[in-house]
Structure 1
């Protein structure tokens, strides 16, 4: 089921399958989110939980092997609507027989989309419904059109970090030939994807995530870039599938909840 929320400045559409964000349009009708093309990538904004990254074989938790899918399973879950208003919606999914067979922890996972003017805030909420501490990885994977205007090129764009010690990253397809690029421990967790001449684009904030990855499909010259806030792993840990050894692994005590937010708006 698709759900639409609105503010005076923007219109957002998501779906209950995977709580995936599908569209962000300004009031004037300009679309910013990548619109699923299987020739490049058939997703728009999958939710990553309780694992991030490929799974060469199995994921190990307490020396037991589990068949957790690539980027986890919540992206394929069917969510229910907990709350909805004109400018927000709260979706929820729960552990079930399948999730417990591949990840042995009872949980509730919520996704909240909330518009405040032109800014969309996305909150992933994790609640440990079990009786033991729960390890997990969590993150977002939204894709944005790049270039954003007719007549522009991908390499007209750059990433400008609010962290003054981090230089601009000028985009070219070749820098992604080895897959995603990861930045860690930025002093300010905010970045802009902007045209290098006009400086127009979008601002992306990720206050609850220690790292952010940037990705476009390898050697496809795809017209989009994903901005991926992560709690979990680094690019050199792909072959290590022992969940407790992953960098930035999260631990949530029994009965407790924790939120992870990111937001974006045109600039």
Structure 2
């Protein structure tokens, strides 16, 4: 089921399957989210939980192997609508007969989409419903059109960081030939994806995350870029499938809850 929220400045559509964000349009009707095309990538914004990255066979947790799929399983489950208003919606899922054999913890996972003026704030809420400490990795994977305007090229765009010691990254397809590019240890967790000609695009803030990755499909010259806030793993840890050895792995005590927030808006 698709759900639409809106205010005076923007309209957002998500779906209950995987709580996937499908669309962000300005009041004038301009679309910023990649609109699925299997020729490039048949997704728009999958959620990464409780694992990030490829899984050759299984994921190990405290010495036991579990068949957690690539990028986790939340992206594949149906969510319930827990709460909804004109400009926000809260979707919820949790432990089930499907999750228990592949992730041995009792949990609740919520996704809140909330419009605040022109900004869309996305909150992933994790609750540990059990008594033992719960490890997990978590991240977002939203894809944005790049280029964003007719007559522009992918290579017209750049990533601009607020940290003074990090130069602008001018996009070229070959820089993604080895998969995603990851930045960590940022002081200011804000990045802009903007045209080098007009300096217009989007601003993306990820205060709830330890690192951020950028990805477009390898050697497809795809017209989009994913901005992926992560808590869990680095690019040199792809072959490591022991969850507890992943950099930035999160731990949540029994009965506790934690929110992970990112937001974006046109700039």
Find the counterpart in structure 2 of residue 116 from structure 1: 116
How do 1:1-267 residues align onto structure 2 when only pairs under 5 Å count? 1-267=1-267
Q: Distance in 1 between matches of 2:152 and 2:113?
A: 30
Unaligned segments of structure 1, at least 5 residues: none
DSSP 3-state at the match of 2:259:
strand
Superposition TM-score, scaled by structure 1 size = 1.00
Q: Structure 1 stretches (4+) deviating beyond 6 angstroms?
A: none
Deviations 1:46-75 (A, max 9, x none): 000000000011100011000000000000
Unaligned segments of structure 2, at least 5 residues: none
DSSP 3-state at the match of 1:114:
strand
Task: Give the count of matched residue pairs.
Answer: 267
Q: State the Cα RMSD in Å.
A: 0.4
DSSP 3-state at the match of 1:69:
coil
DSSP 3-state at the match of 1:47:
coil
Superposition TM-score, scaled by structure 2 size = 1.00
Q: Distance in 1 between matches of 2:164 and 2:90?
A: 35
DSSP 3-state at the match of 1:75:
helix
Q: Distance in 2 between matches of 1:190 and 1:162?
A: 6
DSSP 3-state at the match of 1:182:
strand
Q: Distance in 1 between matches of 2:163 and 2:125?
A: 27
Q: Distance in 2 between matches of 1:49 and 1:210?
A: 15
Q: Distance in 1 between matches of 2:64 and 2:48?
A: 21
